[in-house]
């Protein structure tokens, strides 16, 4: 089942890779498989020999579940390496850890960190203060993205630690807010280090170094959310990348048969002879049942084709990933990574 099946009809334009992009943000409606796609994208990049950071920010341990590795701590850890020397480093970004690290770096806090924790300031900043949590989460990704390979390279002239960063971002409903949060904080904090960091993060996110990919299924609601998100992202000044259509199922019936079923002009009587050859001894009720199932299938095929047309109308490169009947594990992710590569995602 490695071939991306119809209802594609050869319409998936090969996506060019993303010139200049280092930070790939992957979003999608809940349940569309954005974590799987983010993991597959990271593996695809690593397969080219790149060192890739795969970061999640929702505290769900999605990476660990998708790639079958032990739960991730808020420290970077290698989760996979590839034949060509590439590797995927996993990180479950945690707001609290990010804040303490941030304070350590910028203020060399020793005991004061503990004091902040005791009076509830850390909780305040990471769970209550508006936007700060998201700022910290993105801030950590920002820091990892520009970290030099050589810690002594203070001016960041040499190579960086990571060739690419893939962010498993919040779902489409929240992603624009998540990515824009720095601009908001900049409005609240008019001066100070938070403000200046917020500004540089906004610059990175709206630059050509960052590209936002959307994951969808060929169903009404996810497609609608995808279209809405593309508009909003564009308005927010973000670079929209590919639309990855996930879980595309095989079209079992030829197109003419789909149309006959939809138009209810199947010649039922003519089915008797070939069905008899099946040796299954199907009674009329069973045949009617099979026809009903096939009609349901045809309706789904038609609906999916409609949704695919909507996705293609966005003008974004559209990639198709097959439905994997055995569920998702690390082998499946590797398979999806190859399909992404074949379709020009990396």
Partner 1 sequence: MATRRTAERLDVDALVDDPHTKILVCCGSGGVGKTTAAAAMALRAADRGRRVVVLTIDPARRLAQSLGLVDLDNTPRPVIGVHTASAGSLDAMMLDMKRTFDDVVLAHSTPDKAQQILANPFYQALSTSFAGTQEYMAMEKLGQLRAQADREGRWDLIVVDTPPSRSALDFLDAPNRLGLFLDGRFIRLISAPARASGRVYLKVLGAGIGMASTVLTKVLGGQMLSDVQTFVAALDSMFGGFRERADLTYGLLKDRGTAFVVVATPERDALREAAFFVERLAADDMPLAGVVVNRLQRLAVPELSRGRALAGAELIGIPEEAQEGAGSPDEAGSPSTAEDPPGRGNAAAALAAGLLTVHASLAELAARQDRATTAFSAGHPGVPMVRVPALSHDVHDLESLREVGHALASS
Judged by CB under 8 A, the chain residues 108 through 137 that form the site for partner 1 are 109, 111-112, 114-116, 118-121, 123-124, 127-131, 133-134
**43/198 with CB nearer partner 1:** 198
Query: Per rule CB under 8 A, is residue 279 in the interface with partner 1?
Result: yes
Rounded Cα gap, residues 103 and 111, in angstroms: 11
Residue 338: both structure tokens together: 């190859």
Q: Per-residue contact track with partner 1, 189 to 228, x per CB under 8 A?
A: xxxxxxx------------------------xxx-x----
- Residues numbered 76 to 105 that lie near partner 1 (CB under 8 A) are 103
Q: 321 to 340, contacts with partner 1 by CB under 8 A? A: 325, 327
265 is a contact residue toward partner 1 (CB under 8 A): no
Q: Which residues pair with 167 in a beta bridge?
A: 25, 55
Positions in 136-155 near partner 1 (CB under 8 A)? none
Beta bridge partners of 55: 91, 167
CB of 39 to partner 1, least distance (A): 13
Task: Give yes or no for a contact between 148 and 159, defined as CB atoms under 8 angstroms apart.
Answer: yes
Residues of this chain, 230-259, that bind partner 1 according to CB under 8 A: 249-259
User: Shortest Cβ distance from residue 29 to partner 1 (Å)?
Assistant: 6
Residue 55: which residues within 8 A CB-CB, separation 6 or more? 90, 91, 92, 93, 140, 141, 144, 165, 166, 167, 168
- Residue from 70, 75, 105, 292 binding partner 1 (CB under 8 A): 292
- Report yes or no: 154 and 13 within 8 Å, Cβ to Cβ: no
Residues 2-61 that bind partner 1 (CB under 8 A): 3-6, 8-10, 29-32, 58-60
How many residues touch partner 1 under the rule CB under 8 A: the total is 95
Which position among 64, 96, 143, 173 is part of the footprint of partner 1 (CB under 8 A)? Answer: 173
Question: String of b and e for 119-157 (b: at least 16 CB within 10 Å)?
Answer: eebbeebbeeeebbbbbbbbbbbbebbbbeeeeeeeeee
**SS3 of residue 17 by DSSP:** coil
Q: Which is nearer to partner 1, 52 or 301 (CB)?
A: 301
CA–centroid distance for 182 within its chain: 21
């Amino acid at each position: 089942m490695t071939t991306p099946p119809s209802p594609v009809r050869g319409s998936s334009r090969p996506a060019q890779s993303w010139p200049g992009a280092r930070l790939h943000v992957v979003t999608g409606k809940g349940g569309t498989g954005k974590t799987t796609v983010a993991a597959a994208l990271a593996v695809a990049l690593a397969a080219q020999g790149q060192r890739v950071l795969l970061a999640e920010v929702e505290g769900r341990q999605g990476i660990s579940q998708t790639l079958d590795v032990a739960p991730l701590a808020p420290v970077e850890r290698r989760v996979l390496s590839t034949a060509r020397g590439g590797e995927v480093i996993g990180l479950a970004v945690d707001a609290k850890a990010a804040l303490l690290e941030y304070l350590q770096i910028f203020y060399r806090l020793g005991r004061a960190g503990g004091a902040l924790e005791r009076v509830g300031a850390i909780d305040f900043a990471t769970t209550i203060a508006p936007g700060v949590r998201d700022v910290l989460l993105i801030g950590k990704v920002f820091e990892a993205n520009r970290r030099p390979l050589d810690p002594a390279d203070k001016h960041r002239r040499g190579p960086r630690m990571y060739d690419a960063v893939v962010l498993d971002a919040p779902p489409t409903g929240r992603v624009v807010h998540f990515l824009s949060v720095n601009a908001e904080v900049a409005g609240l904090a008019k001066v100070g280090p938070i403000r200046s960091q917020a500004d540089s993060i906004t610059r990175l996110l709206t630059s050509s170094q960052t590209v936002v990919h959307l994951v969808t299924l060929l169903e009404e609601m996810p497609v609608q959310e995808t279209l809405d998100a593309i508009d909003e992202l564009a308005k927010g000044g973000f670079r929209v990348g590919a639309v990855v259509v996930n879980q595309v199922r095989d079209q079992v019936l030829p197109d003419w048969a789909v149309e006959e079923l939809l138009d209810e002009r199947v010649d039922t009587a003519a089915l008797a002879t070939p069905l008899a050859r099946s040796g299954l001894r199907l009674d009329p009720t069973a045949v009617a049942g099979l026809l009903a199932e096939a009609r349901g299938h045809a309706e789904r095929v038609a609906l999916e084709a409609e949704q695919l047309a909507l996705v293609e109308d966005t003008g974004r490169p559209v990639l198709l990933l097959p439905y994997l009947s055995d569920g998702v594990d690390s082998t499946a992710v590797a398979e999806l990574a190859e399909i992404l590569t074949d379709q020009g995602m990396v």
